[in-house]
Structure 1
Amino acid sequence: MSIPISFKIVMIQDMLDFNINLLELDDDEQVAVYSSVLLSSLIVTSNRLEHLMREIRKINPCITLISEVEANHTSPVFVKRFIESLFFYGALFDCVSDHSADDEFNRKVMESILYSQPIRNIVAAEGKERTVRHVGIDVWRAFFARFGMLEVELSDACFNEAKLLINNFDCADSCMLHVDCKCFVVGWKGVPIFSVSAWKFV
């Protein structure tokens, strides 16, 4: 496409230290923002999440792509959190098991390291100690609206490309992809796993 693209890595110790000046943007530069499961990690520290959103608004990116876990792990009621996490992580374990049938060592590593801490935190921790708090796309829509963001419809071409990618794998029948308003939701055997959405500031 002959489009020059550059990346600048910015290291910060605290999200409150992030600001637009760290990016050293040019006036004629177009900026796109991509966030993958970052925003949900900031839910428990709402001041940092809101600070990040205000700084992104100052950047005024031409497009913001958000990929987040599609689950509700924030309920103050233990039973609801337990059931939600049971279905969600059950689907993830099943997916990993299908993909790693011939690689038991790596499957065990993924299950014990990547998934055990979030499960323990969601189910057993309370108050400020419960740092893993996933919410669904409807909650994010309400949150982004506060910052003047409008959801951009992902095209049929994007959907078809995603389907083609999924169909390259043996598990294509187990992986679901559907449109939720203007975003895509990807799941495993009927259980939503994550959403992909696009946004613009008005």
Structure 2
Amino acid sequence: MKRINPEVLVLGIVNGLYNSPFFLPRFREALFHYSSLFDMLNATVAPSHEDRILIEKYLLGADVLNVIACEGTERIERPESYKRWQVRSLNAGFKQLPINEEILQRSIEGIKKYYHDDFVIDKDMGWLLQGWKGRIIHALSSWKS
């Protein structure tokens, strides 16, 4: 990315701690991550909704299978924490841009007003965090080269 020299690089990552080469820690962390996603679906979408069935089967199911059943180069999903991405980006020479506080406040107010109470929007170390019941699921940040 540094060679491309983008004006702004926006990182949107799955905040996962299930990139371990060892099965048991990877399984445990994947269980926590995906149980949050399924809990979110249970609380917000009817079990028989056609789109939910497609999401569970083709998106989440395929991801879970890849994380749990595949090893080495067969494993495609390798999410890491936003904190590891921060270190990686800083080491690559990128400078983090601040979060727009107005957008953050609007997002928090919108979540409280229109969505389920267990959705979370917060910030940490220049990252906009999105989660469910206190578990951070996605993180966004912007960087300059």
Quote the residue 2:53 is aligned against. Answer: 108
Instruction: Tell me the amino acid that sits aligned with residue 118 of structure 2.
Output: S
Separation of aligned partners in 2, 1:169 and 1:103: 23
1:26-37 matched pairs, under 5 angstroms: none
How far apart are 1:157 and its partner, in Å?
1.0
Separation of aligned partners in 2, 1:84 and 1:96: 19
Which of structures 1 and 2 has the bigger CA Rg? 1
How far apart are 1:104 and its partner, in Å?
2.8
Quote the residue 1:131 is aligned against. Answer: 76
Which secondary structure does the structure 1 equivalent of 2:143 belong to?
Answer: strand
Contact preservation (8 Å) 1:178, 1:184: yes
Quote the residue 1:56 is aligned against. Answer: 4
Supply the RMSD in Å over aligned alpha carbons.
1.6
Single out whichever of 143-152 and 161-170 deviates more from structure 2: 161-170
Contact preservation (8 Å) 1:151, 1:197: yes
1:66-105 matched pairs, under 5 angstroms: 66-101=11-46, 103-105=48-50
Quote the residue 1:12 is aligned against. Answer: none
1:140 aligns with 2:85: yes
Quote the residue 1:164 is aligned against. Answer: 109
Contact preservation (8 Å) 1:97, 1:107: no
Separation of aligned partners in 1, 2:26 and 2:88: 21
Quote the residue 1:187 is aligned against. Answer: 131
1:77-106 per-residue CA deviation (whole Å, 9 max, x = no partner) reads 111111111111111111122221275332
1:178 aligns with 2:122: yes
1:146-179 per-residue CA deviation (whole Å, 9 max, x = no partner) reads 33101111032121011122124240x1011221
Which secondary structure does the structure 1 equivalent of 2:18 belong to?
Answer: coil
Separation of aligned partners in 2, 1:108 and 1:195: 25
Q: Give the structure-2-normalised TM-score.
A: 0.91
Greater than 4 Å deviation, 4+ residue runs: none
Q: Give the structure-1-normalised TM-score.
A: 0.67
Contact preservation (8 Å) 2:17, 2:29: yes
Structure of higher RCO (CA pairs closer than 8 Å, 6+ residues apart): 2
Residue 119 of structure 1, aligned match among 64, 77, 81: 64
Separation of aligned partners in 1, 2:121 and 2:112: 11
Separation of aligned partners in 2, 1:54 and 1:175: 34
Separation of aligned partners in 2, 1:176 and 1:113: 25
Contact preservation (8 Å) 2:16, 2:33: yes
Unaligned runs of 5+ in 2: none
Identity across matched positions, percent: 27
